[in-house]
Amino acid sequence: MSCRPLVCSAIFHPQRPEDLVQQYEINRSRPEARSLLRFDVTPEQAGFPHAAQAAEMKRFIDRKAKVELQVECEYLLTSLSQSQLDAQAMLRLDREYWGIESGLHQRLDISSHEDKSRVRTPKAAFNLCLFRRASMSFAIHWIKLQRNKRLATTSGFYDAMREKGYLKALSLVTRPHPKSISDVRFEGRGSGECAIAYQAV
């Protein structure tokens, strides 16, 4: 069964043609269509303070392993007016939502092992959270400078730090039970390279 852009049925019919937007693409080797229908709401109707507009967004996914077309439906709610955020922008922002998950949180979970951390003291956990995101900023900056795209990954960054002997300084944020490290400092190098000096305790 082929997947084509479809018009989603909704209780609130579009008042203007621009209230309904559709998108079709090949996502991870499978056809996927999205249909978003925008409509105005009041805080009383939505049961949410400052609500100004909402949208019904449907995804139509053609999975080869399944005979039937998979349909996913979700509702979007915002306090922004239509002049500030139209239907096309709503669809684009919903599509870019996963960029946060894959661009930051996946790197924190997989490469920095944030989920494996056994630190439970609130202040210590908060401080490690800041260090992890700081190290991830260095990693993303390093990735953008790499000409070889196959090496331009977070793992590639840690491998490069290991080769240069800087990885031990990053172990503070990648180990489940980090040891204390004192006198950690970052030194600037040419071509955007960051050197990390450390003294382990």
Under the banding of pLDDT at 50, 70 and 90, the label for residue 77 is very high
31: tokens are 């056809």
Neighbours of 173 (CB within 10 A): 22
Residue that is written with structure tokens 């190290």 in the block? 135
Q: Rounded mean pLDDT of the chain?
A: 76
Are the C-beta atoms of residues 12 and 30 closer than 8 Å to each other? no
- Give, for 175, the enclosing helix (H) or strand (E): none
pLDDT at 177: 63
Q: Helix 122-144 crosses helix 154-163 at what angle (to 10 degrees)?
A: 90
Distances (CA, A) of 160 to 104, 107, 146, 200: 20, 16, 11, 20
Q: Span 35-50, mean pLDDT? A: 93
Flag whether pLDDT at 133 surpasses 70: yes
pLDDT at 15: 64
pLDDT in tens, 157-168: 888 887 776 666
pLDDT at 176: 63
SS3 84: coil
Flag whether pLDDT at 3 surpasses 80: no
pLDDT at 178: 57
176: tokens are 């489940």
Under the banding of pLDDT at 50, 70 and 90, the label for residue 102 is low
End-to-end CA distance of the chain: 62
Neighbours of 100 (CB within 10 A): 10
**What is the C-alpha to C-alpha distance for residues 47 and 68, in angstroms, rounded to an integer?**
35
Flag whether pLDDT at 99 surpasses 60: yes
Flag whether pLDDT at 10 surpasses 80: no
**What is the C-alpha to C-alpha distance for residues 157 and 108, in angstroms, rounded to an integer?**
13
Flag whether pLDDT at 40 surpasses 90: yes
pLDDT at 194: 42
Q: Residue 199 corresponds to which amino acid?
A: Q
